[in-house]
Structure 1
């Protein structure tokens, strides 16, 4: 008899929430992580849980994720803060689209508030008055500290749900053996389970390169900045701006989206690099600023390089300083990578009891908890 019911390969937010839901359903779960701790997209992001920007079923998963985060936070501190999300419109056509999104969410009972320019500046006085036209605020949305949250979530599923967690476990083989699956580790050990789920991002190429070649996965490279704390500065919640309104899927479904006023040549250059400016203050007062997006096929990720480009960072800094009145002094910069697919997410059964799930894109922090719940149920676990 296999030692466990389910082995999950990859302990990022997508894999760990699958472990959470499977263990809640009474399954014996082994969670494997190739590194000493997760270092991928789960920790290289803003830590914003913003269903408001998602569309279709991903909004529903995100809405459910808010509930799940709160449920866990009531049992243990996973760094959840409910300070809301604001989208700051910078001109009339962005404001019109924000009004339309507010109306749509009002019809389905998802709380939002339209804020006048004066109300935005009263709540966020460190934003520049000449940038702000109005704001759309979602009071129920959350912030997390991404580098801390995943460690605490893994600790929670170990302690409360008896998930076995093995970091530093590099998987080099995964094959069906009769009615179960054998997983081989780089140290020569093998473990067996009734089923195996791979949630290792584009690293699926290490085990199933033929699958990756057919998946159509694209890797997105994001550049982000961490700004030094500013004495006395408070930036509650997630602050998203006009370029975000022009980028996020939820706004693209609004009737007036196609009538947005064309941006200036300077902003068009930002859009060419997939830049939209977000601010999120961490608990230590530092401020994450970003981000940009460059793309390459997952089979050619190396083309994106490992470096960050000063040109992109300077574009982001210039726009951030046009929006915010506080000094933005960079402490460090980094690049994050996540995989995505034109089909919203990549789900593939290598065998009846071996499943790959990857390509969730930038939706992971906001929607993985809700998505994984449905995923586990649909797989009959």
Structure 2
């Protein structure tokens, strides 16, 4: 086998797509019966424009691969763009800075321009920015569609309910011990998300891997609501999102946003809120998200954080909301946006450590596969 990939989330699948395109024989092994990690728990937002530096180049490459793969694998990749809603002058100033730097990749909108594009409450909106390069997929279906397509490719298969229990490097190959038998591979890629330490404890320790846990909701209008939400095409980001995306980090106005929130809404900063939403095909809305960091998190979910998200979402959309589903998502976090390490000969561990897996996985995978070829 040319390549064994551990993990069938979007990062692992991206490496399989890239390797198959080179004619390699590929085996993807996944311990669960289907993808249930961060790849299906987030927004389906392929946030190209808000990346920066090398991450932006990966995201632009990923964008082209998503569009091509959607056609080949038969799932919808929507060129909806994203819309950042500004509800304070300092937020709009950050967007002005951003648009000036990005040369056409961000279009500044008036308040009317915002409310004409997405059904948000007009009260308090000062303007916004439209990011036309961003894409949308149904996050609950995309990974399964990619995996199914890979299983139709010659020399590739995805094995579910198959756990890797050990890796033993040898002379030019690695023995991959799994719960369904052993496999010999020329190269191995470990794409195990936040669980780097389970297979590669030294790599996780050396990189300082922490787990970022997020609380998220699927919501719909409360039964008492007088109106429905309506159709929401783009991903919708807000002022708190500006604090969490590298593309905005260099703006001199960003400090004023943080200072204002620290004075007027400290609970949003304390909870690490990045308020954003996307709409699922059934019309319900994925709403999030909070952020907390640690090596091991308590298993108990905070109702107060869910209530905070519901209030903020209702304020943004101008309609009371009720939660239909509640969950947590977890990703690996280190001070840089990507973890790529070789913990043993012939084995590369890859993790997207800034929550940008959907946006950057395919671009990063192309680089990794090229380097291990």
TM-score, normalised on structure 1? 0.92
1:376 corresponds to: 369
1:190 aligns with 2:188: no
**SS of 1:191's equivalent?**
strand
Give yes or no for the alignment of 1:316 onto 2:313.
no
Any idea what the Cα deviations from partners look like across 1:150-204, whole Å, max 9, x if unmatched?
00011112213541111111111101122211011134x1111111111112333
Inter-partner Cα distance in structure 2 for 1:92 and 1:362:
28
Give the match for residue 363 of structure 1.
Answer: 356
SS, match of residue 290 in structure 2: coil
The answer to whether 1:114 aligns with 2:108 is: yes
Instruction: Return closer, same or farther for 1:64/1:210 CA change in 2, 3 Å cut-off.
Output: closer
Match of 2:205 in 1: 213
Aligned partner (choices 260, 279, 282) of residue 281 of structure 1: 279
What secondary structure does 1:201 align onto?
A: coil
Task: For residue 212 of structure 1, report the CA deviation from its aligned partner.
Answer: 2.6
Q: Once the 2 structures are TM-superposed, how far is the Cα of residue 64 of structure 1 from its aligned partner?
A: 1.4
Q: Give the direction of change, closer, same or farther, for the CA distance of 1:23–1:145 in structure 2 (3 Å limit).
A: same
Stretch of structure 1 that moved more, 20-29 or 304-313: 304-313
| Superposition misfits of 4+ residues, deviation over 6 angstroms | none
Contact 1:170 1:186 in 2 (8 A): yes
**Equivalent residues of 1:79, 1:148 under 8 A apart:** no
What stretches of structure 1 of length at least 5 have no aligned partner?
none
Deviates more, 1:8-17 or 1:70-79: 70-79
Alpha-carbon separation, structure 2, partners of 1:354 and 1:247: 31
Structure 2 distance, partners of 1:348, 1:203, is: 14
Equivalent residue in structure 2 for 1:156, among 124, 133, 149: 149
Deviations 1:268-299 (A, max 9, x none): 211111112111111110101110001002xx
**Match in the other structure for 1:46:** 43
- Indicate conservation of the 8 Å contact 1:274/1:294, yes or no: yes
Q: Distance in 1 between matches of 2:239 and 2:201?
A: 40
CA deviation string 1:285-317 (max 9, x = no partner): 0101110001002xxx2xx12332111111111
User: 1-side partners of 2:229 and 2:274: how far apart?
Assistant: 26
Deviations 1:300-352 (A, max 9, x none): x2xx1233211111111111122111331211111111112113222221233
Flag the 1:251–1:161 CA change in 2: closer, same or farther, 3 A: farther
User: Aligned partners of 2:196 and 2:252: how far apart in 1?
Assistant: 39
1:68 maps to 65
8 Å contact 1:22–1:376 — kept in the other structure?
yes
Residue by residue over 1:17-47, the C-alpha shift from the partner in whole angstroms, topping out at 9 and shown as x without a partner, is 0011011011111111011111111111111
Kept in 2, the 8 Å contact 1:341–1:359? The answer is no
CA RMSD of aligned residues (A): 1.7
Kept in 1: contact 2:261–2:269 (CA 8 A) = no
**Shift of residue 213 of structure 1?**
2.8
Decide whether the 8 Å contact of 1:131 with 1:322 is kept in 2.
no
CA contact (8 A) 1:307 1:335 kept: no
Equivalent position of 1:27 in the other structure = 24
The C-alpha deviation readout for 1:224-269, integer Å capped at 9, x for no partner, is 0101267471111100011112332111112332343612645221
**Aligned match of 2:224:** none
User: Is 2:226 aligned against 1:240?
Assistant: no
Aligned residue in 2 for 1:307: 300
The residue number in structure 2 matching 1:257 is 254
Does the alignment pair 1:269 with 2:262?
A: no
Contact 1:24/1:161 (8 A) holds in 2: no
The aligned counterpart of 2:174 is: 181
**Contact 1:217 1:341 survives alignment (8 Å):** yes
- Per the TM alignment, residue 75 of structure 1 is displaced from its structure 2 partner at its CA by 1.8
User: For the Cα contact (< 8 Å) 1:48–1:143, is it kept in 2?
Assistant: yes
Structure 1 residue 207 displacement after superposition: 2.6
Q: Which runs of 5+ in 2 are unaligned?
A: 222-226
- CA 202–239 in structure 1, closer or farther in 2 if over 3 Å, else same: closer
CA distance in 1, matches of 2:2, 2:262: 56
Under a length normalisation based on structure 2, what TM-score does the superposition of the two structures give?
A: 0.94
Residue 211 of structure 1, CA deviation:
3.1
